[in-house]
A and B are shown apart, each in its own frame.
Chain A
Amino acid sequence: MKTRRDMLKSAALMPMLLLASTSCSKPPQIKDATFEDTVKILLDDLFPKTDTLPSSSQLNILDYINRVLHSKFTSDDDKLFLKNGATWLNESAVERFDRSFHLLDSKQRGLVIEAILLKRWGESFIISLSSYYFEALLGEPIYGSNIDMVGWKWLNHIGGKPQPTKALF
């Protein structure tokens, strides 16, 4: 059942879909950066390791993102936008520092992130990736990243019962 809360969720996705389907220029090939290289280090920048929260790498967030990319429950538009977003991020990094995003130092990466957040596609890409990060960290442990309920413990959250016995994807 769609509720008013769900409508907000749909509304948040709309700009993303629009960008995915109307992007006018073919993204340039970034030969020395894979999707995984780019997203792995971007996730660590967006969600740094703390005393209570392991790094995105330690939580296998990238594995979850890859499951999203291969899931029938993710629309083709959303999959394309995630991939395009990583490519466009690299394009921005090359434009500014002549190197792919994952080869930049921390300060340079921060400047690239700040720059893309000023663009509509960039903001939508960061929101999209962050949303999937939250799904992984704060979703059911059965999906593989909320290891020992670390995300729930971090925010004093208690999951609902009964818990699922099988992941959706």
Chain B
Amino acid sequence: MKTFDICIVGSGAGGSPIAYELSRAGFSVAVFEKGAHYNKTDFSKDEIAVCRRDIYTPDLKDEQHTIVTYNSDGTEEYFSGADEQWSFWNGSMLGGSSNLMSGYFHRLKPDDFKQLSVYGAIDGANVADWPISYSDLEPYYTKVEQIVGVSGRVVEHAHQEPRSTKDFAYPPTEEQPMSGWIDEACKKLGFTSIPIPRAILPYNTELRDGCSYSNFCGSYGCATDAKGSARAALLQRIKYDLFADSFVYKIDADSKQVNQIHYYDKNHKSHSIKAKIFVISAQAHESVRLLMNSKNSDHPDGIGNTHKQLGKNLIFSAGGSGSGRILAKHLDHKKRKELFTRGLFVNRSIQDWYSYSKNNRVIKGGTIDFLYEHANPIVRAIRELRGNDTQVLYGRKLQKRLEFAFKESRVLKFEIFNDWLPTDRCYIGVDDHVRDKFGVNVGKLHLHAHSQDLEVGKYLASKAQMVLEELGAVEIESNISAAPPPNLIAGGCRFGDDPKTSVLDSSCRVHGLDNLYVCDASFMPTGGSVPYTWTIYANSFRVADIILQRLKNG
């Protein structure tokens, strides 16, 4: 059996930077991906396949998660993901969910790395400082801008993070005129609107075409490779051994190191692979599941679980979304034309309340992003079934409502991103009673949101609604809830200097095991108030440098 220099489980934003750097340095790399190998030519804008059926994620009858929530009296309620059609899968394909992201890229701020020191302890939450600082990660944020490709324009504002380069590696993508409307509204309100950096190329490069402004981006695979998926930006540029349609179900580890991993191919036949170094990057909850399902006499509670920290402090992105409808009838011809300009990006964000004061206390706030409602006409039509009332419409009333919604108005949305505080009640384990189609125990998620998550989300939503009001929108609403967004999941393998309170050391290596790293969003002790993908990429480039140095040193 061949022994690879490095074996990476999971081909998304966590694993791919390591594959990229190690392969380019001449080391042998094996990459495992549970899903299929799609290329850009496989992607179309089929609204039914992509948004109405889950073609890029497993059938929940075959593979699911089970879920536990808490009632107000503290009792637990158990849900089968298959029975409830409650999915925690994201993109199951080469490059992972980065293929399907919208590419809203924000860096964390320096204070995100030391939330306990800056904001203090919060009752009922396990807030902790990171073992690294923003300055440790800054060079790698810059590297992602250059290698993965981040387009944008730096605008100074109160919470602008320090940068080692003056501006982004790529200029901004073309902007929808609504961006300017938002700028004007914010100016009147005294808010600072900033361009949202996007992991989308504005023009062609060596292997990737620039954005075609198809109007169908988030949830869809990119047909030009302009979107900075791990596949398009990294994996297609290197030589490596790909094991697609291959599910890694067990890690063999003794008390000091990992010796091999076991996987099922698409015919459910079991195989094994050896390597000098192993990296697990299967997405936060699935990485934890694999470590737990790999228990043996040396690791009776699962790998990395000596101090019962594995799976703890699972976090999501808190917040929610809201919307308002801009009516065309109030606009002159020019403005009306601008409102309906299709394809281009709104790309506007506000971070004025990334932290704010309340009752003489500094509170960690978050980010507001603006965007037009998703272009899929099916989803938009379904949303109009109740009109602006509670009663379901049909017949001519419904048809008139649809004509109004599509031809006489446009819905501007906002999304709120704030910290989902880590708590003892939000964690992942394995379900001893439920197995997947391979016969492997499934992950069991315990879900709980701290009350502060909702308070902050509502505060930010009230600010976003002010912008919509200033724009003259009607039917303004917001939905801030404790519902966890499955595409924004992190934690479970917290990194830290103390093995008693963390799973990984500061290099994302499992405490006590010489050659096992975990490198997706699971390392994050706190989430920060932005989408995670840029930070996952940046941290993985950081870990890649550590592994590279180690291999070079023999």
A positions within 8 Å CB-CB of B = 1-7, 9-10, 12-14, 17, 21, 45-48, 50, 53, 73, 75, 113, 117, 123, 126-127, 130-131, 134-135, 138-140, 142-143, 151-152, 154-165, 168
Contact = CB atoms under 8 A, between A and B. Distances in A.
A50 B391 CA distance: 23
A164 B137 CA distance: 41
B394 interface: yes
Interface string B304-335: 00000000000000001100000000000000
Given A123-B392, A130-B382, A10 B86 contact: yes
Contacts of B83: 17, 21
Given A2-B57, A2-B89, A50 B97 contact: no
Contact of A2 (B391, B396, B485): B485
Interface stretch (B164-172, B214-222, B427-435, B453-461): B214-222
A138 B375 CA distance: 12
B85 interface: yes
B551 interface: no
B437 interface: no
A139 B407 contact: no
B395 interface: yes
Nearest to A133: B381
Contact of B214 (A2, A12, A161): A161
A145 to B, nearest CB: 11
A45 B392 CA distance: 14
Contact of A155 (B43, B219, B374, B377): B377
B381 A138 contact: yes
A113 B382 CA distance: 18
Contacts of B483: 7
Contacts of A9: 51-52, 379, 382
B89 to A, nearest CB: 7
Nearest to B415: A4
Contact of A135 (B375, B378, B399): B378
A2 B375 contact: no
B474 interface: no
Given A4-B321, A46-B395, A53-B399, A13 B85 contact: yes
Interface string B68-102: 00000000000000011111111100000101110
Given A123-B392, A127-B385, A2 B406 contact: no
A123 B390 CA distance: 11
B402 interface: yes
A101 to B, nearest CB: 14
A140 B219 contact: no
Contacts of B55: 73, 168
A7 B485 contact: yes
Contacts of A131: 378, 382, 385
A161 B55 CA distance: 18
B378 A139 contact: yes
B237 interface: no
B342 A158 contact: yes
A2 B487 contact: yes
Interface residues of B, number: 62
Contact of A168 (B43, B53, B89, B223): B53
A164 B377 CA distance: 16
Interface string B39-80: 000011111110111011100000000000000000000000
B45 A5 contact: no
Contact of B85 (A10, A46, A160, A163): A10
B44 A162 contact: yes
Contacts of B124: none
Given A75-B85, A139-B378, 12 more contacts: A3-B219, A5-B374, A7-B486, A9-B379, A10-B85, A45-B394, A48-B395, A127-B385, A152-B377, A160-B44, A164-B44, A168-B48
A76 to B, nearest CB: 9
Interface in B392-411: 392, 394-396, 398-399, 402-403, 406-407
B100 A113 contact: no
Interface in B285-320: 320
B426 to A, nearest CB: 17
15 contacts: A2-B57, A2-B486, A6-B51, A9-B52, A10-B87, A14-B84, A14-B85, A47-B395, A117-B392, A130-B382, A143-B48, A156-B407, A162-B43, A162-B44, A164-B46
B219 A1 contact: yes
A5 B83 CA distance: 20
Given A45-B394, A73-B53, A126-B392, A17 B406 contact: no
A14 B487 CA distance: 20
A1 B377 contact: no
A13 B487 CA distance: 19
A88 to B, nearest CB: 16
B10 to A, nearest CB: 14
Nearest to A76: B61
Given A50-B399, A127-B392, A163 B44 contact: yes
Nearest to B101: A1
Contacts of B99: 1
Nearest to A159: B45
B45 A134 contact: no
Contact of A45 (B87, B223, B395): B395
A2 B215 contact: no
Contacts of B398: 46-47, 130
B501 interface: no
A63 to B, nearest CB: 15
Interface string B459-500: 000000000000000000000000101110000000000000
A14 B91 CA distance: 22
A6 B378 CA distance: 13
A1 B97 contact: yes
Nearest to A10: B85
Interface centre among A1, A5, A46, A160, by most chain B C-beta atoms within 10 angstroms, is A1
Interface centre among A53, A159, A160, A162, by most chain B C-beta atoms within 10 angstroms, is A160
A138 B47 contact: yes
Contact of B396 (A1, A48, A123, A142): A48
Nearest to A73: B53
Contacts of B355: none
